[in-house]
Structure 1
Amino acid sequence: MELVWRALTTADIPAVTALWAAAEAADDTGELLSEEDVAESFAKADLPAGSLAVLVDDVLAAHGLVMLRDNPAGTHRVRLDGVVHPRFRRNGIGRQLMQRLVAMARDLHSARHRAMPLVVTTMVESGCSGHVALCERLGFAADRHFHELEVALGESLAQLPTPAGYEVVPFSAARHEEVRQVCNTAFAQHWGSVDRSPAEWAASFTDSKRFVPETSFLALADGAVIGFVLARHYPAVFETTGVRELWIGDVGTLADHRGRGVASALLSRTLARAREQGYHRAGLSVDTANPTSALGVYERAGFGVARTWADYGLPVEPA
């Protein structure tokens, strides 16, 4: 078949959304995206220099994005996102797409962070054997594994008290900069984490239609933020499955306040509020090697493993 390669544009958002839907119907990875979700990811990418549309007879057969971070530290881990329509798989398109995305990532990295080591990465759901095989053939290795956890928001949810000396309060937009700084500090030692710039923070939370402040909470000690639960909602999940899911994007506590039940109290408050607001389920992702014992906190809250993802990485020499 004859392939046409070009950069994506915002005019491709409906076709990319339909492509994700077709892939999800075949792969069952839980990646349910609306046009607004795709538009949000497009806004974070350099479309002219860091995206690809693959066309067969004017039909979108595959697409890819190169996703850079604003403030890389140590090693620049550049994420590659993309998918091939099930109808066009096993024709070598995925291999060519990945190779071209790697080259684009190398060029973008060399222009911005040439002195820093580069690793290109892609997230792979464990059940996608074809994606796993492709990554391994291209030399990628699984650097880290993440569990996607879920809990049903039924009447059996435990209500945990706030530890003495702390206060749990609703998220306030007036504290967004303080929360950003606390979030960066709390995750500073986490694998693969980098500081979120004000622009990245705004795109993910304060300016995002997916952020749900009503089910997001802060923990205070002596009036200062020391912990947080920040939640998001993706309407496409409900529209596709009938399940209204609250996605807990970030849970963190400053190191000096860990091990005291702060995170558990925050999580308990978020789940209770989500149930009050009509959510059926809550979900989140956790690093299986998280050094803060976060997995245990989530398991005690009733979360169970729904899927496992691997972060595949490939070191790349600068251009």
Structure 2
Amino acid sequence: MELVWRALTTADIPAVAALYCAVEAVDDTGELLSEEDFAERFDETDLPGGSLAVLVDGALVAYGLAVLRDNPVNTHRVRLDGAVHPDFRRKGIGRQLLQRLILLARKLHTARHPAMPMVVNTMVESRCAGHVALCAELGFTADRCFNELEVALGESLAQVPIPPAYEIVPFSAARDEEVREVCNAAFADHWGSVERSPEEWAASFTNSKRFVPETSFLALAEGAVAGFVLSRHYPVVEELTGVRELWIGDVGTLREHRGRGVASALLSWTLAQAKGQGYQRAGLSVDSANPTRALGVYERAGFELKRTWIDYGLPVSL
């Protein structure tokens, strides 16, 4: 079997999405992605220098992406994403792919942040035994666990009152820059978090087709943003499962406003509005060691554990 390696191009998006669907049908990670979703991921990536396509007889059998962060602090964690078609597993392709991605990531990192330590990381659904074994074989260690939670938007939703001196308002484009700054401040003490630049923020939210401002809300204190819930919707989930799901992308409260029930009220309000807008389920991901005790907030809102993702990291010498 002769493997052909080259960089990905935007022309590969349909083939990558089809390969990913074949992988998801076997692995059942719950992360469903469409061609549009991959178009956004490709926009985040230096395709000529940070991507790989693996072909056999002209057909795509594996792909990989190395995604850098805009504003790394202390250590630059470069995310590695990729997959091997189920029909071509256990042939050493995954090992070669990951090793080559590490080299690409190292080259990109050295060009941009030569004085900063580097770690490559990859997210693995905990039940994917082959992926877990490959990470262990190449020296990756489990740096953090993230719990993926879900709640059905039925009649039993918890109703949490809005704390005195606060009001909840819909997200507004006029407050976009303020929300970015508040989000950066709210997540400053979270593991692995780095400040989102205006460009990275726009790619994740304001310019993203997945961002739903009508189901995103802000908590105001004396007219200023003190907390936020920012939501996304992935149509492919509804197309493939028949369930209209709201994905809670980010929930945060400024440190000086924590412990007052702001996040609980925001989340309760968001879920109630989502139900009224026809969503049947909400999902989110939370660091299992979150320093703000966010897991308790979500559990009280009715969220239950669905699956666990592991962030595997590997320091790379420069």
Pair in the same fold by TM > 0.5: yes
1:111 alignment counterpart: 111
CA deviation string 1:156-187 (max 9, x = no partner): 10221100111111100100000000000000
CA deviation string 1:139-172 (max 9, x = no partner): 0000000000000000110221100111111100
1:300 alignment counterpart: 300
2:141 alignment counterpart: 141
Aligned runs of 1:23-102 on 2, under 5 Å? 23-102=23-102
Check if 1:17 corresponds to 2:17. yes
2:230 is paired with a residue whose SS is strand
Q: Does structure 1 conserve the Cα–Cα contact (< 8 Å) formed by 2:141 and 2:314?
A: yes
Q: CA deviation at 1:198?
A: 0.1
Q: CA deviation at 1:91?
A: 0.2
1:3 alignment counterpart: 3
Aligned runs of 1:96-245 on 2, under 5 Å? 96-245=96-245
Q: Which amino acid aligns with 1:15?
A: A
2:269 alignment counterpart: 269
> How many angstroms apart in 2 are the aligned matches of 1:165 and 1:61?
56
> How many angstroms apart in 2 are the aligned matches of 1:117 and 1:141?
17
Q: Which amino acid aligns with 1:52?
A: L
Aligned runs of 1:247-262 on 2, under 5 Å? 247-262=247-262
> How many angstroms apart in 2 are the aligned matches of 1:74 and 1:30?
32
Q: Does structure 1 conserve the Cα–Cα contact (< 8 Å) formed by 2:144 and 2:287?
A: yes
1:69 is paired with a residue whose SS is coil
Q: Give the TM-score normalised by the residue count of structure 2.
A: 1.00
Q: CA deviation at 1:204?
A: 0.6
> How many angstroms apart in 2 are the aligned matches of 1:34 and 1:66?
19
Q: Which amino acid aligns with 1:275?
A: K
> How many angstroms apart in 1 are the aligned matches of 2:184 and 2:30?
28
1:206 is paired with a residue whose SS is coil
> How many angstroms apart in 1 are the aligned matches of 2:12 and 2:283?
29
1:287 alignment counterpart: 287
Q: Which amino acid aligns with 2:315?
A: P
> How many angstroms apart in 1 are the aligned matches of 2:241 and 2:266?
28
> How many angstroms apart in 2 are the aligned matches of 1:32 and 1:169?
30
Q: CA deviation at 1:301?
A: 0.1
Q: CA deviation at 1:31?
A: 1.5
Q: Which amino acid aligns with 2:99?
A: Q
Q: CA deviation at 1:261?
A: 0.4
> How many angstroms apart in 2 are the aligned matches of 1:103 and 1:48?
14
Q: Which amino acid aligns with 1:279?
A: Y
Q: Does structure 1 conserve the Cα–Cα contact (< 8 Å) formed by 2:158 and 2:300?
A: no
Provide the aligned length of Structure 1 versus Structure 2. Answer: 318
> How many angstroms apart in 2 are the aligned matches of 1:236 and 1:317?
39
2:29 is paired with a residue whose SS is coil
2:305 is paired with a residue whose SS is strand
> How many angstroms apart in 1 are the aligned matches of 2:145 and 2:107?
28
Q: Runs of 5+ in structure 2 lacking a partner?
A: none
Q: Does structure 1 conserve the Cα–Cα contact (< 8 Å) formed by 2:163 and 2:262?
A: yes
Q: CA deviation at 1:197?
A: 0.2
CA deviation string 1:242-292 (max 9, x = no partner): 111100000000001101100000000110011011111000000000010
**Where in structure 1 do 4 or more consecutive aligned residues deviate above 6 Å?**
none
Q: Does structure 1 conserve the Cα–Cα contact (< 8 Å) formed by 2:170 and 2:214?
A: yes
1:263 is paired with a residue whose SS is helix
> How many angstroms apart in 2 are the aligned matches of 1:33 and 1:52?
19
Q: Which amino acid aligns with 2:193?
A: S
> How many angstroms apart in 1 are the aligned matches of 2:299 and 2:31?
23
Q: CA deviation at 1:72?
A: 0.2
> How many angstroms apart in 2 are the aligned matches of 1:305 and 1:158?
17
> How many angstroms apart in 1 are the aligned matches of 2:302 and 2:98?
38
- Percent identical across equivalent pairs? 78
Q: Which amino acid aligns with 2:95?
A: R
1:232 is paired with a residue whose SS is strand
1:36 is paired with a residue whose SS is helix
Q: Which amino acid aligns with 1:211?
A: F
